[in-house]
Amino acid sequence: MNLVEKDLKYIWHPCSQMKDYQDLEPIVIKNGKGAYIFDIDGKSYLDAVSSWWVNLFGHSNDRINRAINEQVEKLEHVIFANFTHEPAIQLAEKIVNITPEGLDKVFFSDNGSSAIEVALKMSFQYHQQTGKFKKQRFAALQNAYHGETLGALSVGDLDLYSKVFNPLLLNTLRLESPDCYRCVYCKSRDTCNVECFANLEKDIILHHEELCAVIIEPLIQCAAGMKMYPPVYLKRLRKLCDEYDIHLIADEIAVGFGRTGKMFACEHAGISPDIMCLSKGITAGYLPLALTLTSAKIYDAFYGDYFEHKAFMHSHSYTGNPISCAVANESLLIFETEDIVAKNKILEKYMLKCANTYFSENKNIGEYRQIGMVGAIELVMDKNSKQGFEPQKRIGYEVYKKGLNKGIVIRPLGNVIYFMPPYVVNQHDLDFLYSRTLEAITEVLNQ
Ligand SMILES: *Cc1c(COP(=O)(O)O)cnc(C)c1O
């Protein structure tokens, strides 16, 4: 049996209909360097999705490789209750210093969904312990995505992941989300005054007594199809949550670590959430690690004598893994020493230029939108009507398959094709990516 046959015999892949693998066999990747991955036949692919939004500084990065090697020689793992270690301490201190004001305490876990579970449990327990017993519910936006464990699915709103599990999920208050591409309120994005906020506001006010927290993906609802909305929305939400004693949970798992052009997306709005979740890019795409940050105020509500039963009894075996922490520390050092956020501005501009060059004429590209180093194309039947393709046609998936032949990885979200490249791409790579994407789209839609 070759590797592909063995893979299909033994492995159940994530987020996939396994039957699709009959047509499109799993691609066996042997190695990676920079923005490219290489299969066992030596074919190269530009990793335009940063290996599921995690990679920042390329594959097999020399600095990160060295940091891992140095750490494994010292300590690979140790229980994190009652014990601690320098990589975690250094990381926590640094993260508190670079995240928005007021996020003073760091709770460790090992994947994004867990960081969300931690956030929800923390907020719920806080309100119980401070006597606000009626606050037992969460609010979240339409089209939200916060991960796939049951709590995280409960606040999410994408049927694709959650529909079958509905009987198991928490009763989340669903709030109208911004939908800038097909906005029914604003005539133009330039004059946007987030009129869409009014409905959310009404619902929150109506239910405020029962709400622990509102959870949100700042600026970009990524899994929903890279839906982007303006920072002023976050400002309004922060104010509303303050007025009604509701926690604001910022899920920066996808948008943190420079993706939106600032280190954290909340910075665009100048707000501090009560709880912030980080993962994905935190280890530059190398190892599992997640953090849930919160305020001293929330932390203090859990502080007391053991038999008051106020402690936060959440744990995972690999909590605070030292190798992951060492990688995160090295990644943050790369941000600093190489002035990554400033350098990315040049790449951002170039992405926009490419979009202008390649996409502006195509009638099936309804819109190209971009914040920082996230660019997205919404494929539609016709630009003017904005009418979408029927999902059954799987246009995005067909474009993706064509892209693979052309050496680019642009795994779609429905009929949205997006670019979230590692920060090590150069202008040549971006021209290659955008021009090949246009070719793939044209071939699929004119065939
Ligand atoms: C990926 C993601 C998660 C879940 O993280 P996992 O590590 O995949 O569990 C949660 N929220 C957002 C916004 C994400 O993009």
What is the position in ligand 1's atom list of the atom closest to the CA of 280? Answer: 7
> Using a 6 Å cutoff on CB, does residue 251 contact ligand 1?
yes
Domains of the chain, earliest start first: 3-60+339-445 (3.90.1150.10), 67-337 (3.40.640.10)
> Using a 6 Å cutoff on CB, does residue 254 contact ligand 1?
yes
List, as residue ranges, the binding site for substrate.
52, 145, 280, 315, 411
> Using a 6 Å cutoff on CB, does residue 217 contact ligand 1?
yes
Residue 278 Cα to ligand 1 midpoint, Å, equals 9
Name the DSSP letter for residue 78: -
- State the Cα–Cα distance between residues 369 and 181, nearest whole angstrom: 9
> Using a 6 Å cutoff on CB, does residue 113 contact ligand 1?
yes
Q: Output the CA–CA distances (angstroms, integers) from residue 57 to 145, 195, 331, 401, in the order listed.
A: 25, 38, 8, 26
Residue 418 Cα to ligand 1 midpoint, Å, equals 17
C-alpha torsion sign, points 283, 158, 226, 245: negative
> How confident is the model at residue 17, as a pLDDT?
95
> Using a 6 Å cutoff on CB, does residue 112 contact ligand 1?
yes
Nearest CA to 408 out of 432, 386, 385, 373 is that of: 432
> Using a 6 Å cutoff on CB, does residue 279 contact ligand 1?
yes
The total of other beta-carbon atoms located within 10 Å of residue 339's CB is 10
Residue 307 Cα to ligand 1 midpoint, Å, equals 35
Structure tokens at 211: 């709400």
Q: What is the pLDDT along the chain (447 residues), one digit of tens a residue?
A: 999 999 999 999 999 999 999 999 999 999 999 999 999 999 999 999 999 999 999 999 999 999 999 999 999 999 999 999 999 999 999 999 999 999 999 999 999 999 999 999 999 999 999 999 999 999 999 999 999 999 999 999 999 999 999 999 999 999 999 999 999 998 777 778 899 999 999 999 999 999 999 999 999 999 999 999 999 999 999 999 999 999 999 999 999 999 999 999 999 999 999 999 999 999 999 999 999 999 999 999 999 999 999 999 999 999 999 999 999 999 999 999 999 999 999 999 999 999 999 999 999 999 999 999 999 999 999 999 999 999 999 999 999 999 999 999 999 999 999 999 999 999 999 999 999 999 999 999 987
The pTM for the full model equals 0.98
Pocket test for ligand 1, best of 146, 150, 217 (most atoms within 8 A of CB): 146
Nearest CA to ligand 1 atom 11: 146
> Using a 6 Å cutoff on CB, does residue 145 contact ligand 1?
yes
Helix (H, G, I), strand (E, B) or coil at 99: coil
Residue 119 Cα to ligand 1 midpoint, Å, equals 13
- DSSP-assigned states of every residue in 122-182: HHHHHHHHTT-TT--EEEEETT----SSHHHHHH---HHHHGGGGGGS--PEEE----STT
- State the Cα–Cα distance between residues 117 and 100, nearest whole angstrom: 21
Residue 234 Cα to ligand 1 midpoint, Å, equals 20
> Using a 6 Å cutoff on CB, does residue 146 contact ligand 1?
yes
C-alpha torsion sign, points 253, 258, 259, 264: positive
What's at 73, amino acid-wise? E
> How confident is the model at residue 407, as a pLDDT?
98
Structure tokens at 209: 């007594």
Residue 420 Cα to ligand 1 midpoint, Å, equals 15
**Are 195 and 186 a contacting pair, CB within 8 Å?**
yes
| E-state strands within 223-373 | 227-228, 247-251, 275-278, 290-294, 365-371
List, as residue ranges, the binding site.
52, 112-113, 145, 251, 280, 315-317, 411
Residue 6 Cα to ligand 1 midpoint, Å, equals 29
What is the position in ligand 1's atom list of the atom closest to the CA of 288? Answer: 7
Helix (H, G, I), strand (E, B) or coil at 235: helix
> Using a 6 Å cutoff on CB, does residue 292 contact ligand 1?
no
Residues in the chain: 447
**Are 112 and 145 a contacting pair, CB within 8 Å?**
no
**Are 152 and 217 a contacting pair, CB within 8 Å?**
no
> Using a 6 Å cutoff on CB, does residue 221 contact ligand 1?
no
| E-state strands within 65-210 | 105-109, 137-141, 173-175
What is the position in ligand 1's atom list of the atom closest to the CA of 223? Answer: 15
- State the Cα–Cα distance between residues 254 and 232, nearest whole angstrom: 20
Nearest CA to ligand 1 atom 6: 112
What is the position in ligand 1's atom list of the atom closest to the CA of 52? Answer: 1
What's at 198, amino acid-wise? A
> Using a 6 Å cutoff on CB, does residue 156 contact ligand 1?
no
What is the position in ligand 1's atom list of the atom closest to the CA of 217? Answer: 13
Nearest CA to 51 out of 69, 68, 32 is that of: 32
What is the position in ligand 1's atom list of the atom closest to the CA of 149? Answer: 9
> How confident is the model at residue 189, as a pLDDT?
72
Query: Helix H segments across 220-378?
Result: 232-243, 296-300, 322-337, 340-359
